[in-house]
């Protein structure tokens, strides 16, 4: 995994897209704000994209940056959308998360530093990376592939 647990959070590059907390609250509804800006987690099996199979691109709900593609989405049956790789290696930042009494790796949008979910590895899924990017549906927008882009 590419997260360097020796780096303090302050060493993250500055987000390219920045708003004040008041601007974020005006842009996002309260549930979106809780997940994207305060690192909350939506309940499992309730998200809009948990079972979506429609081809397309998943972007950040906060800033519209491309994060994942449907070609990397897989059925993990964990209750949240799962991807085995981001669309671009620079699309997300992985950072240590020691909350909840355990060591995890948080996934944040590289463009705006919004919380997306967590990445896990070594769970035995038959994917090319053996990683599961477990992402909150509420943190994403899905743009279906148009018929003229095929």
**Whether 134 is catalytic:** yes
| CA dist 142 → 59, 121, 129 (Å) | 6, 25, 23
Sheet containing strand 140-144, edge to edge, reads 66-69, 56-60, 140-144
Query: Could you give the 3-state DSSP secondary structure of residue 11?
Result: helix
| CA dist 41 → 17, 20, 97, 115, 143 (Å) | 22, 22, 14, 9, 22
List residues with catalytic annotation: 134
């Amino acid at each position: 995994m590419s997260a360097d647990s020796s780096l303090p959070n302050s060493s993250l590059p500055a987000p390219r897209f920045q708003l004040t907390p008041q601007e974020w609250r005006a842009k996002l509804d309260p549930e979106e704000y809780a997940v994207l800006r305060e690192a909350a987690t939506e309940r499992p099996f309730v998200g809009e994209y948990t079972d979506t199979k429609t081809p397309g691109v998943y972007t950040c709900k906060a800033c519209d940056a491309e994060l994942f593609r449907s070609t990397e989405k897989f059925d993990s049956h964990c209750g949240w959308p799962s991807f085995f790789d981001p669309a671009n290696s620079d699309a997300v930042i992985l950072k240590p998360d020691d909350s909840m009494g355990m060591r995890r790796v948080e996934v944040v949008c590289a463009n705006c530093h919004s919380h997306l979910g967590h990445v896990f590895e070594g769970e035995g899924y038959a994917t090319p990376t053996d990683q599961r990017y477990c992402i909150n549906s509420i943190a994403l927008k899905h743009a279906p592939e148009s018929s003229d882009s095929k």
